[in-house]
Amino acid sequence: MRDDPVAEVLDNLMKFDEILACMVARRGMIDSVMPSSGTDSFKPEIYEVWDVLKRTMDSQLSVISEFSRIDLKKIDFELQEFDAMFYVIPETENALVAIVPALANKGLIDVELERARLKIYDLLKEENNQ
């Protein structure tokens, strides 16, 4: 999944101060789509915990892989000082994943992530139709 328009959607999300990292990922973190500058665009506070976050995220992506076909839409978990928010891309086993601080204003972020999820869905659908 190397898709520039999707990376642009992620680049847009990274402009929000409270979004520390984001990607479109699936189980095993294979073929994840990162923002255009990859993990370099992640906010520095995440680097210390990135490895443990990645492992925890992957376990959730396994759940998504199993339950996305029965319309699992969203998973959240809190780890240390961070929240990981997973928005399942409809009709796929992929999820838009965003890491935010535990104190983040999640209501506002939820609105933006939902919009991003729908944009990514449309982009992936267009790619499949081509």
Partner 1 sequence: MDALLEEEDVSATEESSSAVDKERPHVEAALGLTEKWDAREAGREVAETALQQLSGKPDFFLLFSTIHYENHGGFEEFLNGVWEVLPEGTPLVGGTVAGFMNNHGVFVQGATALAVSYPHMDVAIGYGRNTKRNPKKAAKQCAEMIKKELVNSPYKNNFLLNFVSSAELMKIPGQGYKKVIDSGFMSKFVTLVFGLSQYLIQKGPGREDEIFEELIHYFPSHNMILGTSVDDYKGRNNYIFNNNFLLKNSLSSLGLQTNLDVTVKSTHGMNKTNVEFNITKISKDGHIIKEINNKPAVPELLRILEWPEDFLNEKTMFFRMLYYPISVKRGNRQIPVVMPFILKDSIVTPCVVEKGKVSILTVSGINLLDALQKNIEYFDGTIPEFGFFSTCGTILQTLGNKINLIRMKLLEYFKDKPFIMVFCAGEGTYSPTQGINYANMSYNTVIFRQNKK
* Binding positions for partner 1, rule: CB under 8 A: 12, 15-16, 102-103, 105-115
Question: Could you tell me the smallest distance in angstroms from the CB atom of residue 112 to partner 1?
Answer: 5
Shortest distance, position 80 Cβ to partner 1, whole Å? 12
On whether the CB atoms of residues 77 and 60 are closer than 8 A, the answer is: yes
CB of 85 to partner 1, least distance (A): 10
Cα dihedral 124, 104, 62, 111 sign: negative
| Cβ distance to partner 1 smaller for residue 42 or 87 | 87
Closest to partner 1 by CB, 16 vs 50, is 16
- Residue type (1 letter), 129: N
Least Cα distance to 116 among 12, 2, 43 occurs for 12
